[in-house]
Structure formats: structure tokens, C-alpha cells
Structure 1
Amino acid sequence: MFSFALVLMMLAGIVVGLVMGLTGAGGGILAVPVLVYSQGWTMQQAMPVALLAVTVGAIIGAIEGFSKNLVRYRAALLMALAGCFPTWLGIQLAQHLSQAWLMRCFAVLLILVAMRLYSQLRRHVHAEDKKSCLAQVNANTGRFDWNARSAAVIASIGGVAGLSSGLLGVGGGFIIVPMLRHFTNVSMHGAVATSLFVISLVGTMGVGMAVANGASLPLLLSALFVTTTVIGTLTARKIAAHLPTNVVQRIFIALLLAVAVSMLYRVTG
């Protein structure tokens, strides 16, 4: 039966897809609380469904990135491999943590990400600045110059993203993109495309592990959420070129803060 819950699920998927398509990251951050609020699910119930939708959207974005030669696939594979154990660890921790504690951690994470994004709006970080670039993309080859330091940096980024994927049900793009931009000289477009490829790999593993650990994926609701998320992502990619980046980022920051405040209110209220 077509119900109000299904309508909410479809609208939620479109919103998440739009945010993901416009920003290149952040879909999982919004997907989990949207599912919690619209369906009355717990964080543990929402995580695998959110991760599934974000993963499918990331696969679409990664395919586009490959077509434009933007994906640094060796770095992406290393990040995905480094994220395997942290993803499993995050899933195990999530099963033993209270709902209130998870929601508080999630809200704090949203606030930290919003602060980070706002700081990026307040200052201009140029790609030519080499001071914080611990892993370099060679201008001649377009590939990373691999050594022990660059490998450690890339693997660390993957590990942090994997832990967030398992613990909070997010793909990690909001971590991967800023960290790639901060610690490497990869372009913004390259960082987003590479991040989406990592999300598709890590997210696939995360969904599989969650299901193996007993998580359920309601067939109809999951299919609707994934489908509408994809529709939102494709739509956003068509309009992204017509919106200034700083405007999109300010909208995203406002959404993050609004969700964080509402989640804290729900826990403490």
C-alpha cells in the first residue's frame, strides 16, 4: 500500500541525492538522520539502508569520474583496502553502543564537519601551497609519486573513512575530500571523483558486512530510497554547473547544523 511513509522515503532519497550530486560528499551524513526521522528507525536500522543508497550513488559518480580520467584509482584502492578492518571495527562498535550515545556522536561529527567547511569558505587554500602536501601528484604523469610517506597518508585517510563508514553508516566522502585536499595536491574535481570511487568500494564492503552481522534491508523501502537517491544525484549533476560552489557549500553547512541541533534536541529533550 502506498503510504505517507513511502512518500517521505522518496522525498528523503531525492534530497540526499541532490546534496550528494551537488557537493560530491555528505550524502550519508544526511541519509541516516533522514531515515531515522522519516521512518522512526533507530540509527542501527538506518545505517545499512543509508550506506546502500550512498554506495549506489557513488558508483554512478565514479563511473563519470573514470570517463573524465579524474579518478586516482591506485590511491582509491589503497584507501579502500586500508578501510576494510576499520569498517568491520566500526560495525562491531555500533552494535554495542547505545542509541543516545551514537546520536550525540553523530551530531558532534556534523558540527565539526560544518565548522571545517565554513573555515574553507573563510580562507583560500591554493593548490600551489606545498606546505601541507604530504603526498604529491606528479604534474607530468598526473599520478601520485609513491613513497612510504605518501602511502601512509593515503592509507590513513582510508582508515578514518572506513571507521566512519562502519560506525556511523556514512560513506566517508566528507572525510576523504577535505583530507585529500589538505594533505595532497590533487585537484578538487579529482578529489571528489576519487572519493566517490572509494565510497563505492568501501560502501559495498560495509553493506555486505552489515548484512552478514544481521542487519536487515527492507526490500521496498530500500529500493525506493536507492532509486530516488540516484534520481536526485543525476538531477543535481545537471544543475551543479549553474550554481556557485560557495552557495552550495553554505546551503550544505546550514543543513548539517540544522540536523545536528535537531538530533541533540531529540536526545536531550
Structure 2
Amino acid sequence: MLLASVFGVVMGLVLGLTGAGGGILAVPALVLGLGWSMTQAAPVALFAVGSAAAVGAIDGLHHGLVRYRAALLIALLGAVFSPLGIYFAHQLPEKILMLLFSLLMVMVAVRMLRRERQDAGPSDHGHANWGQKNCMLDQQTGRFSWTAKCTATLAALGAVTGVVSGLLGVGGGFLIVPAFKQLTDVQMRGIVATSLMVISLISLIGVIGAFHAGVFINATGAVFIFASIVGMLIGRKIASHMPARVLQLGFASVCLVVAGCMLFRA
């Protein structure tokens, strides 16, 4: 129970600080730390990530940071495609799932280690010129200009996120955050808040699908979920006081170490 509490707090902390990455640590924590199988760990990890993300998303909505229309579109497509990922998760051997998860962690670590340009400014607008990104904010209303290109881009992101979420038991923030940075001119605070809302919605659908398939959460899993919510609250409090680059380097290093452990076990 103590290990479940510690791992849960750490996962929630990472999710609160970065808007991504919590789920990608939750599964290894349950598999390597508690000895669970991938199929056992995935729904509990999803439940924990979704619950913690929901707390952060509510806070983001309160401060007007969530791009809720974009979040709902991504989550809708994620909900449609998440059962497909769950289906494949039950068809593939355990070793293949662990290998895929390890490779995913390496990919995330490499992306985090790359030094990225920081978008400064007090508003939630980036510095891209009109037309440079697939989805642009209207400078007068502060909302997305919903072109066909923008809608298709966000829908495709939701579909990919849903499949990966169902397959590996992750919330998808590691996909949503970099995609939003690359494809939109939303500032980082808005990206993190929107990502948390999407994660909470997609995770909820994944959990419902897992329950429908006969999965249940035991007492240890419940402790892990509660601890993740506590970690999220702490992470949201200290996020503004931590240098982003320090968070990136630390998280990437942890990902590489855990990926190595997962590969060794696989």
C-alpha cells in the first residue's frame, strides 16, 4: 500500500507539472513496482490518470485556460477509437505490449530532451503569424478559427490518442502537448490545461471499456488512484515555480531509466 501511495503521488505530480507524462509513468510503476501485468495495470493507470487530470482540468476551466471545444472534439474521437486499442491490448502478448511501451517511453524522452523555443508573453497566444499553424487563435475573440484544416487536424489527433490510450493504458498527454505546440499557436499554460481535460475524458471512456471487459480495481489500485489526485494538487501548486527545462530533463531521464527496466523485463 505504501509503494502504491508513493508511486501514485509521483505520477500525479508529473501530470500536474507538465500536463503530460503521468500515465507513461503510472503503468511502469504498477508493472515494475507492484508486479502487475500490463493488462492489469492499464485500466488502473487510466483511472488514476483520468481522475488526477480531471482535478487539473477543473482548475484550468476556472482560470479560463481550457480550449474546451478543441478538447471535446479530440476526446470524442478518442472515445470512438479507444475500444480499438483495448481490443488489440487483449490480443497481443504481454512481451509485445511491454516492448511497445518501452519504445514509446524512449520516444517521449528524446522529444523532451530536445531544446525547444520558449514562447514568452502574458497572453495565451503564441507568436506564430497567421497561416503558419493548422489551428490559429482569432486575435480578437481569443478562440480557434474553426477551418476544415483545423477540425481535421484535431480529429486525427483524437483518433491516434484514443488508440494509444486503449492499447497501453496512458492518457495521451505526451501526444497532445507536443501536437498542440506544433500545430496551434496556443501558449503553454493553455496547452497543459486543455491536455488535462482531454486526458480526463479519454481516460474515463477507457476505464468504462475496461470495466465492461470484466476488469476490476482492488484496494491497492484504489490507493494508487487517490494518491495520484493528491500528487496532481501538489503539482498544480508548484508548477509556476519550477523551470520548464529542469522538468523536461528530469522527466526524460526517468523515462529512459524506466524504459530500460521495461525492456529488460520483456
- Same fold (TM > 0.5): yes
| Gaps in structure 2 of 5+ consecutive residues | 120-125
What amino acid is the match of 1:112?
M
Cα offset, 1:243, TM superposition: 1.5
What does residue 118 of structure 1 align with? Answer: 113
What does residue 214 of structure 1 align with? Answer: 214
Deviation readout 1:13-34 (Å, 9 max, x if unpaired): 1111111111111111000010
CA 1:144/1:262 → structure 2, altered by over 3 Å: closer, same or farther? same
What SS does structure 1 have at the residue aligned with 2:91? coil
The CA RMSD measured in Å over matched residues stands at 1.2
What does residue 229 of structure 1 align with? Answer: 228
What amino acid is the match of 1:72?
R
- TM-score by structure 1 length? 0.93
Equivalent pair of 1:135/1:149 in contact (CA under 8 Å) = yes
**Among 76, 100, 103, which residue is 1:105 paired with?**
100
Equivalent pair of 1:132/1:182 in contact (CA under 8 Å) = no
Q: Does 1:263 align with 2:256?
A: no
What does residue 73 of structure 1 align with? Answer: 68
Cα offset, 1:129, TM superposition: 3.3
Counterpart CA distance in 2 for 1:22 and 1:67 is: 18
Equivalent pair of 2:32/2:262 in contact (CA under 8 Å) = no
What does residue 247 of structure 1 align with? Answer: 246
What amino acid is the match of 2:247?
V
What amino acid is the match of 1:263?
M
Counterpart CA distance in 1 for 2:30 and 2:155 is: 31
Runs of 4+ aligned residues of structure 1 deviating over 3 Å after TM superposition are 129-132
Cα offset, 1:132, TM superposition: 5.0
What does residue 88 of structure 1 align with? Answer: 83
- TM-score by structure 2 length? 0.94
What does residue 170 of structure 1 align with? Answer: 170
Cα offset, 1:125, TM superposition: 5.9
Q: Does 1:38 align with 2:37?
A: no
Equivalent pair of 2:101/2:168 in contact (CA under 8 Å) = yes
What SS does structure 1 have at the residue aligned with 2:111? helix
Counterpart CA distance in 2 for 1:136 and 1:242 is: 29
What does residue 3 of structure 1 align with? Answer: none
Q: Does 1:189 align with 2:178?
A: no
* Percent identity for Structure 1 against Structure 2: 47
| Gaps in structure 1 of 5+ consecutive residues | 1-5
Count of residue correspondences: 259
Counterpart CA distance in 1 for 2:201 and 2:171 is: 9
Counterpart CA distance in 1 for 2:26 and 2:70 is: 26
